[in-house]
Amino acid sequence: MTTPGFSRLRDALMTAVLAGCAFGAQAKIEQVRFAVDPTYPPFESKTPQGKLVGFDIDLGNALCQQMQAKCVWVESQFDGM
């Protein structure tokens, strides 16, 4: 005989295990494309050397690193995204 609390815990653990299996079975993402308008500092801007910098760039690079994917930055005007 199981207690109701144990049953709920067992169900929650099984759900977590199944969700983990489904996540691991997904195809690997090799490339992520981001559209940016580098005229909105501090979120997106360019250095005098032409390198993209800012919060959104840092966040995108961190996501790509975590996913082990290549980041591709596509510059575009905001109204064209």
> Residue 51's pLDDT is what?
96
Q: What pLDDT, on the 0 to 100 scale, is given for residue 41? A: 93
Could you tell me the domains of the chain?
A: 4-80 (3.40.190.10)
CB 73 within 8 A of CB 34: yes
pLDDT at 16 over 90: no
In angstroms, the CA 67 to CA 32 distance is: 10
pTM over 0.75: no
- Mean pLDDT (whole number) for 23-30: 71
Q: Are strands 52-53 and 45-46 parallel, antiparallel or unpaired?
A: antiparallel
Q: What is the mean pLDDT of the chain?
A: 82
Contact criterion met (CB below 8 Å) for 36 and 75: yes
* C-alpha to C-alpha distance for 35 and 20, rounded to whole angstroms: 30
